[in-house]
Amino acid sequence: MRVFFRSLLINASWNYSKMQNIGFAYAIAPAQARVENKSAFFLRHTESFSTNVYMAGLIIASVLNREETCRGAEAQYLKQSLAGPYAALGDPFFWGSLRPLCSVLAVGVVAAVGCSSLAALIPALVAYNLVQGYIRTKGFAEAYRDGTGATDFLKRFAMPGTADRLRWLSIVLLAVTAGGWLSLSPCGMSEAGFKLIIAPGGAALCLACFWLVRKRVPMPVILYGMTVLLFFAAW
């Protein structure tokens, strides 16, 4: 439990020299009580290290498993071999899919109920932290149990496929929100707010987004294009 809670702070001491190495050493430090050569232990875990911040706990838990069974060399190799692949898994999922979806969700809440932008952050933050919290806690437990980075857990979660579905959901939600805005007058927006009904404009935008995705138009182009469309609609 001490290692788990420390792992949440891995980015608190991020540095340009070796990136997350101090945070990693701080997180794994409770395990040094079971290691004879403490100097070699800290030398191993102050080497350069960098991965996605939400995936770091899975690596730390696996290294903890190896250190507790006196397999320091294996722990060092496992740590370095998992850092790159887990960054490649986590960055597209958290930064490229989940965070944009929660941002669009906040915009949708503002449009739906007419609340302030600060209040709309609450459901977005709750949704984001439920997902990342589940992966961090469940993944840590699984990784500590199997000592291989919770590979079975990650296979079941299917992060690449889930990331694709979240990106699709972001596009559809944004299109529906844009359609609702385009179907209401500026005066009506302030009084009635956005009604959760797919207006003709929203349906058309949904179909347009699906067509653009099938034509392999990059997601950022679609999202920023929708932003430009909303700008001119409001203007």
pLDDT of residue 179: 60
Q: Is 213 exposed, middle or buried (0-12, 13-18, 19+ CB in 10 A)?
A: middle
Is residue 8 domain-resident? yes
Q: Which of 157, 187, 214 is the last residue of a domain?
A: 157
- The amino acid sitting at 39 is S
Is residue 100 domain-resident? no
Instruction: Tell if the pTM clears 0.85, that is, is over it.
Output: no
**Among the listed residues 56, 205, 219, 75, the one whose alpha carbon sits nearest the alpha carbon of residue 148:** 75
Residue 22 in contact with residue 30, Cβ under 8 Å? Answer: no
pLDDT of residue 181: 58
* Per-residue model confidence as pLDDT tens for the chain (235 residues): 999 999 999 999 999 999 999 999 999 999 887 777 888 888 889 999 999 999 999 999 999 999 888 787 888 899 999 999 999 999 999 999 999 999 888 887 777 776 666 777 888 899 999 999 999 999 999 999 988 889 999 999 889 989 988 888 887 777 777 665 555 544 444 444 444 444 555 667 777 777 887 788 887 787 778 777 766 765 6
Is residue 95 domain-resident? no
Is residue 68 domain-resident? yes
User: The tokens 């409770």 sit on which residue?
Assistant: 30
Is residue 99 domain-resident? no
Is residue 64 domain-resident? yes
Domain extent, residue 187, equals 160-235
Is residue 107 domain-resident? no
pLDDT of residue 187: 43
